[in-house]
Amino acid sequence: MSSATLAPKVPGSYIKGIACGGRHSAVITDAGALLSFGWGLHGQCGQGNTNDVLSPTCVSSLLGSQIEGIAAGLWHTLCISVEGRVHAFGGNQFGQLGLGTDADEVETLPRILDAPLFGSKNAKIVSCGARHSAILTEDSKVYCWGWNKYGQLGLGDTIDRNVPSQVPIDDCLAKTISCGWWHTLLLAETTI
C-alpha cells in the first residue's frame, strides 16, 4: 500500500461530540481534534477551500487547539476550544461568523472570534441556526449575531448583526442555549 493511500493519524480514540449543519457535519475526538465532512461550497468544512469533503477529515489548522464544543449552521461552523476561544468558518452572508463583516464572503479556515465585548469571560456553549449564531459565556451571559429577520437574536428588533451582541436577560441566570433554523431558545433559572 502506498503512503498516498494511508490516512494521517487523527488525535484521539473516540468521538465525543457531534454537530450537523445544512449539508455538512463535524465531530470532535476525545483528544479535542475536529473533523469535518460534507458540502464545502461556503468553506464550512474549514479545510482551506470550498471543496466537498467526502469522509471525516481533520481540520489541521486547529490541531494546536483542543476543541470541546461544536455547532454547525446552514453554511457556517463554530467551535470552542478548552480555553474558551471561539473559532468561526464558512459562509458569512449575514454576519453569522461574528467577524465584523457581512459581505458575500467565505472563511475557508477557522478564524478566532475577537470579541472584546466578552471581556475576559470564556465561551462555554455554542449554537448555530441557519444563518445566525449564539454563545453562552462562563458568567452566564448570552451573545447572538447574524441574520435577524424574525427576531431570532433576541435583541428586540429585526436588524442583522455582524458582531456578537449581548442579549438582555433580566432576573435570570442562563443555563444553556439552542438555535433552531430561524429561532433561538434559552433555558434559564430566575434569580429573584
Q: Is residue 4 part of a domain?
A: no
Q: Is residue 2 part of a domain?
A: no
Tens of pLDDT along 64-75?
A: 999 999 999 999
Range of the domain at 131: 13-190
Predicted TM-score of the model (pTM): 0.92
pLDDT score recorded for residue 5 = 43
Sign of the torsion angle spanned by Cα atoms 17, 136, 81, 8: positive
List the 24-29 sheet strands across, edge first: 15-20, 24-29, 34-38, 53-58
CA nearest to 145, candidates 189, 88, 65, 107: 88
| CA 91 – CA 140 distance, rounded (Å) | 28
Q: Is residue 131 part of a domain?
A: yes
pLDDT score recorded for residue 8 = 61
Report the number of distinct structural domains present in the chain.
1
Which neighbouring-strand residues pair with 134? Answer: 127, 144
Q: Is residue 153 part of a domain?
A: yes
pLDDT score recorded for residue 168 = 94
- Secondary element (H or E) of residue 37: strand 34-38
Find the CATH number of the domain harbouring 125: 2.130.10.30
Q: Is residue 5 part of a domain?
A: no
Q: Is residue 6 part of a domain?
A: no
Low-confidence ranges of the chain (pLDDT < 50): 1-6
Q: Is residue 69 part of a domain?
A: yes
Q: Is residue 1 part of a domain?
A: no
pLDDT score recorded for residue 175 = 96
| CA 43 – CA 45 distance, rounded (Å) | 5
